Amino acid sequence: MDKETDGILQNRPAARDVDATDRKILGVLVDDATVSYAELGDRVGLSPPAAHERVKRLRRSGTIRNTAAIIDPKAVRKPLLAFVHIDTKGWGKTPELMAISEHPEVEEIHSVAGDTCMLIKVRTEDTRALEGLLSRLYETPGVTSTRSYVVLSTYLERPVQPGITTEWPAPRHMAKPLY
Amino acid sequence: MDKETDGILQNRPAARDVDATDRKILGVLVDDATVSYAELGDRVGLSPPAAHERVKRLRRSGTIRNTAAIIDPKAVRKPLLAFVHIDTKGWGKTPELMAISEHPEVEEIHSVAGDTCMLIKVRTEDTRALEGLLSRLYETPGVTSTRSYVVLSTYLERPVQPGITTEWPAPRHMAKPLY
DNA sequence: ATAATCGCCGTATTAAATTCTGTATCAATA
DNA sequence: TATTGATACAGAATTTAATACGGCGATTAT
């Protein structure tokens, strides 16, 4: 199918009403938006360019909001993401923190304001691997467990542009389910 | 984007796990599945054919369940559909039924088994037009209202192939929301 | 009646999808 | 360690589809 470069908020491209042919087109595209305009035209009784025109209009008018891939959540389930509080003897680049950061599962280490402990973000394949990692972490001299952590099972991570978290309304991809 | 003719239930095309690049691809396609493979490749750091291969695999493995148009329900709301019981003096092609069938809003007329009245299916733009039609119908000599009807507001009608209603499990388009 | 508009078709052109071939990389194996 | 096989990729070539364009018939407005 085509890629429409002109935005949705164009200067009002004649918002005709959705007729029977349009509904047939929508019925096809809801099922499978990867059909060619030739096949689409065949199914609804139009020539390829005519079908193309219809779809373009349906997109511009917002009747077709989007054309999106529908993802199987099970297939894209990501490994576990855990935020773990740990106690160390100090802050900064102490030997304990150096040792912790050696583990590839540890992605971030934060000094938490108003608290005497560190917060680390770790990512593992499953709970078993998470437990193994934590026990290994707690074996590090000077590191003690606070038994305070959050474990999340993420689906699909999406990059967030710097700054947009302060925008309002929220950017579209923040409002959509993360799969 | 492409149209995959080979079915999903192929003989197990190596269900590799979804890696970081796949997730990037999914992130793009969830937002907008109309991007070309060239642009998709650009965004995830692959050549167009490589991106194509990845997407093909994601489709075959079922990770990408479908690529569908997302429709604005408000834009495709259909006129009212009403099923109305009416009393007539008889069955068959009586003058009353002929008069009723003259109205273009009347799409079907049924003789109902085990009942002495008729069931007609009518379609109007809105409730106002529906009321007007009904009052006109009831003005027909020999036709009296039973004050029994059902009014539905449909979104998008989809043709149903003859016979499939007896199939099990139900065909996919029966299970999907009708917009 | 006449002009204007709209939606469509057929054709031509452009762009993208798809195929093909060679290559680098990694893993398993002799 | 060398070798084989499989995998994923890039680049070029080919096929197919998307898109632009011109003209026609029907409908609507003037």
**Domain-embedded: residue B176:** no
In a domain, A59, yes or no: yes
Question: φ and ψ at A112, to 5 degrees?
Answer: -95, 125
Average pLDDT over all residues of chain A: 75
The beta-carbon neighbor of B156 closest among A26, A62, A173 is A26
User: Dihedrals φ, ψ of B125, to 5°?
Assistant: -70, -40
A62 and A108 housed in the same domain? no
User: Which residues on adjacent β-strands are paired with residue A151?
Assistant: A82
Q: Which of A68, A86, A121 is the last residue of a domain?
A: A68
Query: Do A89 and A31 belong together in one domain?
Result: no
CB contact under 8 A, B179 and A36: no
Q: Determine contact: A26 vs chain B, CB below 8 A.
A: yes
Question: Given A68, A99, A116, which residue is the final one in a domain?
Answer: A68
Q: How many helices and strands, by DSSP H and E, does chain B display?
A: 7, 5
Q: Is residue B108 part of a domain?
A: yes
For A23, counting Cβ atoms within 10 Å of its Cβ (0-12 exposed, 13-18 middle, 19+ buried), the class is buried
| Total tally of structural domains belonging to chain B | 2
- Give CA–CA dist A91/A105, Å, rounded: 20
3-class SS shares of chain B: helix, strand, coil, % to 5: 35, 20, 40
Contacts of B119 (CB under 8 A, 6+ apart): B83, B84, B85, B109, B110, B112
Query: Tell me, what's the pLDDT at B46?
Result: 96
Q: What average pLDDT score do residues A77-91 get?
A: 78
Helix (H) or strand (E) holding A102: helix A95-102
Instruction: Note whether A132 and A117 are same-domain residues.
Output: yes
Helix (H, G, I), strand (E, B) or coil at A99: helix
* pLDDT for A179 beyond 80: no
Q: Which residue has the tokens 């009052």?
A: B135
CATH code, B52 = 1.10.10.10
Give the pLDDT of residue B35. 96
The pLDDT score that the predictor gives to residue A57 is: 95
The residue-averaged pLDDT of B62-80 equals 85
Q: Identity (one letter) of the amino acid at B120?
A: I
Is B81 in the A-facing interface, judged by CB distances under 8 Å?
no
Asked whether residue A158 is assigned to any structural domain, the reply reads no
Per cent of chain A over pLDDT 70 is: 72
Task: Note whether A75 contacts B: Cβ–Cβ < 8 A.
Answer: yes
Q: Is B83 found in the same domain as B43?
A: no
Tell me how far CA of residue B133 lies from CA of B49, B77, B110, B141, B145, in angstroms.
59, 20, 18, 15, 12
- Would you state the structure tokens that stand for residue A101, as one six-digit string? 């950061």
**Partner A, chain B 112-171, Cβ-Cβ below 8 Å:** 156-159
- Which of A30-44, A122-136, B1-15, B159-173 shows the highest mean pLDDT? A30-44
Last residue within a domain, chosen from A68, A95, A110? A68
Contact A34 B157 (CB under 8 A): no
Asked if residue B129 has pLDDT above 70, the reply is yes
Residue B178 has pLDDT above 50, yes or no: no
Residue B69 per-residue DSSP state: E
**pLDDT at residue B81 is higher than 90:** no
If pLDDT is split at 50, 70 and 90, which confidence band does B176 have?
A: very low
| Mean pLDDT, chain B, whole residue set | 75
- Provide the domain limits for residue A80: 75-153
In a domain, A43, yes or no: yes
Residue B18 lies in a domain: yes
Type of residue found at B142: G
Together in a domain, B39 and B62: yes
Measured CA to CA, the distance from residue B7 to residue B11 in angstroms comes to: 10
Determine whether the interchain pair A65/B72 forms a contact, defined as Cβ–Cβ distance below 8 Å. Answer: yes
Q: What is the ipTM of this complex?
A: 0.68
Say what the pLDDT of residue A43 is.
Answer: 94
Show which positions of strand C are touched by protein (CB under 7 A).
6-11, 15-20
Q: What is the pLDDT of residues B6-35, one digit of tens each?
A: 333 333 334 678 888 999 999 999 999 999
The pLDDT value given to residue B11 = 35
CATH classification of the domain holding B96: 3.30.70.920
pLDDT of residue A33: 95
